[in-house]
Structures are given as C-alpha cells and as structure tokens.
Amino acid sequence: MKTILALETSCDETAVAVLRGRELLASEVASQAAAHEPYGGVVPEVASRNHLLHAPRLLRRALKVAGVALESVDAFAATSGPGLATSLMIGSSIAKGLALGSNKPYLAVNHLEGHLLSPFFSTAEIQPNVSLIVSGGHTLLVEVGAVNTYRVLGRTVDDAAGEAFDKVAKMLGLGYPGGPEIERRARDGDPARFDLPRSMLDSHDYNFSFSGLKTAVRYMVAKLPRTEGARFADAMIDDICASFQRVALEVLIRKTIAAARACRVPLVTLSGGVSCNRALRDQMEGACARAGLQFLPAAPELTTDNAAMIAFAAVLRFSLGFQSAVTQEIDPNLKLA
C-alpha cells in the first residue's frame, strides 16, 4: 500500500493530506477566507504569502496526525495547475523539494482531475460517467471513461458558477465566499419572485454562461428600493438569492442530464466548491432519478479545495505508473484534456 503526501495551493486554501492506499490518514486545510474577505475576492499576493506562512506548519501537522514519518512517504504530489501562478508555485516547490531531497517520485496533479475523481474517494473503482465540476474558478462538463481518459464536453464561456455566486453576494453586501451565504439566504426566499435569464439553456451545446445572469442581477438590484443606510430589506435579499440560485442551478442540472443522456453513461458525478450546495445536490439527485441515472456527488468535506482529492488522484495515477519530472513547471492554464 503506497503512502502519498499531497499539497494543494492553487488558489486561497493551503492544504496538505496524507493518504495510504484509500485510507485518508490526515487532511489539513488552512482557509484564507478571512484574509480575502475585505476585498470580496482572492488577492493573489496575499494568497501566496499566506501559503508560504501556513504550508510548513500544515505539513508537520499532517505527518503528526497521520502518524507517518517523512521517510515512510512513497511519493510526493502537488497541484500543478490550473490556478494562480504565485499560489501554485508554493505547493509544487515544496513537493518537488521533498521528492528531490528524499529521492522519491514526484507527481504533478491537475486540480480539475482532483475535483473530477473526488466523488469516487470511498467507492471501489472509477465508473464511466459524465461529471459536472462547479467551483469558484471552473464550470466544466466532462465525459470520464477512466483515470486519465477525459473528454471536455463544455465549459463556461465567461464566469464560473461559483464566481457568479460570489459576485452576486458581493452586490448584496453578503460575505465572502458568497456561495454558502446565498444558499443560506435562499432557503428563506421566494425563488419565483424575480425572473432572471437562463443563459444558454437552449444553446444546443454543453457550454455555460453566468456573466449575463450576474449582470441581470446587477441591473435589477440597482432599481430595487433600499431601506435606511442604503441596505436592502432582509426578505428582499432572501428572494434575490433564491431567484438567482434557482436559475443558476436549473441551467447546470439541465445541461448535465442532457450530456449524460447523449454520452449514454449510466452515472452522473458532481464535484467542486459549489457542489456542497444542498439544493444543487438534492435537485441533481432528483433529476438523475427521473432520467434513470445513478448519481454520485463528492462527499461534502471534499467539495471545496482540499489536498485529500489531490492525494487521491495521485494514488490512482501512481498505481497506473504515472510520475512527473521535478523539472515540470506549474501551468496556471493547465487543461484537463
């Protein structure tokens, strides 16, 4: 059974995990949400400095929690892209340094592959599926044949779904990241109160667009009455959140089901930060059941950025004989296929 230590520093979470076979021995994540909250989004320079600050501490902690000595690690892995260059280079430099220093293999892992395979973390083997990855940086529909056999069916042509959640939250004066706030507010809101555009729903392809929806919310919000202190009434915010979330989820779900049918796969998988949204999980599950498809979402703790999913992808790749050269550069625009 191989033991892999993986680092994930592609955006604003610093994460280290230790995985032995399929057994997760440690998964440490230091969120930087508080550091970026005042800016309403991730500031690359701030993210990079924080990775440098947190990574060594997390590394020591992960090994301690796992009860694994550094010498017993069989291979070191890190996210090599896509992501912010100044963030990616911290985790990958550490993993490469550890691999070089101990003369052990290094594995560069695509962040998207980490998300894509994460639903299978506790199942036996990877089944052919159509996978929706929805995060703050990506919105992708992928046909998965096996590990390393991927066909991108469609992607967002502008903003990622999570980015739209974050930007709408910012317009409404809610915190960062906006997704969880919008989900919470939407629970008490009326999803039918505001009519918003379902962009590209009838585009006859598997691409998405969330920029038009975001702009529609912006124009709508500008015209709505505010209470004292230029704030919106709480009930109004709840209704905007519910209306926005309904439309965003509807497009994601309809296109995913259409893609799964077209690809004739029996299974739909769901991953990425936005996939911890309960309404998305429940509605996708219902839509899959109606279409006669199985549904496998990532476990909630694996949805937002973490190193366990990177370690898992690395274990699967390692067992198939993949390794990377320590000279392999990070690639902020790394493609999945």
Binding site for Zn ion (CB under 5 A): 135, 305
Interface residue with ligand KG4 among 114, 119, 154, 179 (CB under 6 A) is 179
Residue 210 DSSP code = -
* Stretch 272-291 residues interacting with ligand KG4 (CB under 6 A): 272-274, 276-277
Residue 3 or residue 275: which is nearer to ligand KG4 going by CB?
275
| Of residues 238 and 305, the one with the C-beta less far from Zn ion | 305
Pick the stretch among 60-68, 73-81, 94-102, 171-179 that binds ligand KG4 (CB under 6 A): 171-179
Among 113, 143, 238, 305, binds ligand KG4 (CB under 6 A): 305
Tell me which residue of 296, 291, 265, 324 sits closest to 145, measured CA to CA: 265
Residues contacting ligand KG4: total by CB under 6 A: 19
Q: Is 119 left (phi over 0), alpha (psi -120 to 50) or beta?
A: alpha
**Length of the chain, in residues:** 337
CA–CA separation, 296 vs 281, rounded Å? 10
What's at 210, amino acid-wise?
F
- Residue 91's binding partner among Zn ion, ligand KG4, none (Cβ under 5 to 8 angstroms by kind) is none
Q: Please report, for residues 151, 189, 222, 264, 278, the alpha-carbon distance to residue 139 in angstroms, rounded to integers and kept in the order given.
A: 14, 25, 27, 21, 18
Q: Record the tokens describing residue 128, joined without a space.
A: 């052919």
CB atoms inside a 10 Å sphere around CB 2? 14
Does residue 113 touch ligand KG4 according to CB under 6 A?
Answer: no
Contact 146, 323 (CB under 8 A): no
Which 130-169 positions form the footprint of ligand KG4 (CB under 6 A)? 135-137, 162, 165-166
- Our finding on whether 297 is near ligand KG4 (CB under 6 A) is no
Looking up tokens 């990532």, which residue turns up? 298
Shorter beta-carbon distance to ligand KG4: residue 32 or 129: 32
Q: How far apart are CA 213 and CA 164, in angstroms?
A: 8
Partner that binds at residue 180, options ligand KG4, Zn ion, none, CB closer than 5 to 8 Å by kind: ligand KG4
Binding interface with ligand KG4 (CB under 6 A): 11, 135-137, 162, 165-166, 177-180, 183, 272-274, 276-277, 304-305
